[in-house]
Amino acid sequence: MMVQSPVRKQVPSAGRLPALRRGAIAGRRSACVAVAAAGLLLLLAPPSARCAPAADAPPPREQAAARLAGAGEGLEQAISGADYRLGPGDSLAVAVWGAKPIRYTLPVTLEGTVIVPSVGEVPVDGLALDEARERIRAALLRQFHNVEITIALAGLRRFQVHVLGQVAYPGTYLATAVDRVSAAVSWAGDFLPRASQRSITITRGAGPPAQADLFAFRRRGVQEGNPRLREGDIVYVPYIRHRFSVQGAVNEGGGFEFLEGDRFSDAIGVAGGFAPDAFPDTLEIARYLGPDRHPVRFYAVANGGITAGRAQDAVHAPPIVGRFPVRRLTVEGEEILDYPDFLLRPDDIVFVRAIPEYRIRRLIEIQGEVVYPGNYTIIEGETKLTEVLRRAGGVTPEAFLREATLVRREAIRLEDREFERLKTVPPADMTLDEYEYFKLRSRENRGLMVVDFHALLVAGDAEQDLLLRHGDLIVIPKTRDFVSVLGMVASPGNIMFEAGLTPEQYIRRAGGFAEKAARGRTRVIRASTGEWISIGEVDRLEAGDTIWVPEKPERHYWALFKDILQVTTQIVTIYLVVDRAVSK
């Protein structure tokens, strides 16, 4: 027969200790536990039969109960047989493999034993799972011979824990032996704003209370301060009593809870460690001392010690009022620097200065014909073009330096308001200067920096060695061994480069001028500069150059005749009018 006791009402006030601490529910049995008729076996109720909040509980309590219903059902890792301790409510699956396989499910009774059929009681309370396996196996082997025995944990016991203090919904919750303090705090609705996360106490029977530090767990995943729960644990979350602060060049500065015994290394650790621009040689601590709470600052000094003086004297030579020994500061296992080994006090303020004129390393990209293309770090204002090319292994033999480019991406993003305005103006409405400016800006390769890579790397022209900026793109193309002949020629395309050939000879190799070619307007486009040059001004061609032959403009002779006739008619008309007027 199932015996149930009334479910304890949850206390909605987070500021008062629940009635549990006043003994109001002493002696009550859980509504989630059923006792077998023989009184020997403790059976676990299914999740649907677990405790539910009282009918008059506020809605947040229902949410807390929903979290409770899932307690212990999701494991963070496999259970260790060496660490897990058995207790009343656990159950074991036992299989005996022989001529006739036998399977048992053995609950741990209220007395801490398992009852093995044909064998009897085997005490297992408090034993590690591995120890219980050996004890049960030994008992079975006295009854069975030439068999294999497998023993596994089949079910976890559930027990009550009490979460009190500065949580949203203090009360009693069900837990398993694999749940941790962090889970209990979550079931209770998490911390209130003034709750201590570093000095949580867990009272366990008559023994000394355990401590939990959930700040370290939530910030860095440190499980040492997040112990597992046990039967009857009382998890108490107090108010924060004292604070200290870390300011300056740290990753997560701010105010933090102070614990007795905190040192400088602890302060840097809770603040997320030093920022990239931190200058540890200038660490400073501000502290208020004495009944008048006068300010004193402690400074790191170059000889490996630390000095202290009144804050108002800091700009002068402060009198040394104390010197402290130095040890090696270690944060999260990494040796950082020499630093003083003395304890923090409540309300201390730790200042971490930044490196003067610190510049964060930035990235540029190199594409094309270098040994190691990719992204490279630079220091803006210091790193030059030749340095990153050297780090990239230099250019390859196929590099075409005359067409290499440096694109400054930040210049591409710069807005040209006049050019943007002219985009909305019809060409017919532009002035001559506006139209010329619009044409030039339309043809411009925005962001392209003027750099002669050939002069820089071959001739050693230091003026071409520009300082790089974050986001710069260096492109080293592959050598082109041809000259392009395009436009109004018989066979436009690429012709293999031969030194000494003239533009006319390349045009003849392309089949000569086409019928509609505008020969006098033929241009050579230099690969190295993009400059357009009249064919008559070119002494020699270079690999990669382009010869452009434009088309003659079409002439509409009938339209021209009509225009001439119209003008002539107007002139004759004017002449006749004038002549008639003079004759009168």
Q: Give, in order, the Cα–Cα distances in Å from 380 to each of 83, 294, 388, 451, 469.
A: 55, 44, 12, 18, 6
What is the bridge-based pairing of β-strands 349-352 and 523-525?
unpaired
Residue 544 inside a domain? The answer is yes
Examine the domain organization and report whether 64 and 162 are in the same domain. yes
Examine the domain organization and report whether 289 and 223 are in the same domain. no
User: What is the pLDDT at residue 3?
Assistant: 37
**CATH code, domain carrying 507:** 3.10.560.10
Residue 10 inside a domain? The answer is no
Stretches in the chain below the pLDDT threshold 70: 1-77, 281-282, 289-342, 356-361, 412-416, 419-420, 438-446, 528-530, 554-561, 575, 578-579, 582-584
CB 361, CB 257: distance < 8 Å: no
Residues 116 and 142: their CA atoms lie apart, in Å, by 12
Residues 378 and 373: their CA atoms lie apart, in Å, by 15
**CATH code, domain carrying 255:** 3.10.560
% pLDDT > 90, the chain: 17
CB 411, CB 466: distance < 8 Å: no
Residue 25 inside a domain? The answer is yes
User: What is the pLDDT at residue 295?
Assistant: 60
User: Count of residues for the chain?
Assistant: 584
Examine the domain organization and report whether 177 and 51 are in the same domain. yes
Tell me, what amino acid is at 520?
G
Examine the domain organization and report whether 128 and 162 are in the same domain. no
% pLDDT > 70, the chain: 70
- DSSP code per residue over 298-331: EEE-TTS-EEEEEGGGTTS-PPP-----EEEEEE
Tell me, what amino acid is at 338?
D
The residue among 352, 377, 410 that closes a domain is: 352
CB 188, CB 163: distance < 8 Å: yes
- DSSP code per residue over 390-447: HHTT-B-TTB-GGG-EEE-HHHHTS--HHHHHHTTS-GGGS-HHHHHHHHHHHH--TT
The pLDDT tens digits of the residues spanning 300-327 come to: 544 444 444 443 333 223 333 333 333 3
How many separate domains does the chain show? 4
Residue 60 inside a domain? The answer is yes
Residue 321 inside a domain? The answer is yes
The residue among 333, 352, 371 that closes a domain is: 352
User: What is the pLDDT at residue 341?
Assistant: 57
Examine the domain organization and report whether 183 and 35 are in the same domain. yes
132-149 per-residue burial string, b: 16 or more CB within 10 A, e: under 16: bbebbbebbeeebeebeb
Examine the domain organization and report whether 251 and 274 are in the same domain. yes
Long-range pairs for 67-76: beta carbons < 8 A, 24 or more residues apart: 67/186, 67/187, 68/173, 68/174, 68/187, 71/158, 71/173, 71/174, 71/175, 71/176, 71/179, 71/183, 71/187, 72/156, 72/158, 72/174, 72/175, 72/176, 72/178, 72/179, 73/47, 75/178, 76/178
User: What is the pLDDT at residue 12?
Assistant: 37
Examine the domain organization and report whether 168 and 273 are in the same domain. no
Question: Three-state SS for 481?
Answer: coil
Residue 381 inside a domain? The answer is no
Examine the domain organization and report whether 277 and 315 are in the same domain. yes
Residues 403 and 480: their CA atoms lie apart, in Å, by 10
Residues 418 and 214: their CA atoms lie apart, in Å, by 59
User: What is the pLDDT at residue 291?
Assistant: 63
Question: Three-state SS for 45?
Answer: coil
Six token digits for residue 416: 């040209």
Examine the domain organization and report whether 187 and 50 are in the same domain. yes
Residue 525 inside a domain? The answer is yes
Examine the domain organization and report whether 248 and 339 are in the same domain. yes
Tell me, what amino acid is at 437?
Y
User: What is the pLDDT at residue 13?
Assistant: 35
Examine the domain organization and report whether 282 and 264 are in the same domain. yes
What is the bridge-based pairing of β-strands 448-449 and 334-340?
unpaired
Cα 351 → chain centroid: 26
* pTM summary value: 0.47
Cα 91 → chain centroid: 44
**CATH code, domain carrying 139:** 3.30.1950.10
Domain that holds residue 544: 482-549
Residue 443 inside a domain? The answer is no
Examine the domain organization and report whether 67 and 42 are in the same domain. yes
User: What is the pLDDT at residue 275?
Assistant: 86
User: What is the pLDDT at residue 438?
Assistant: 67
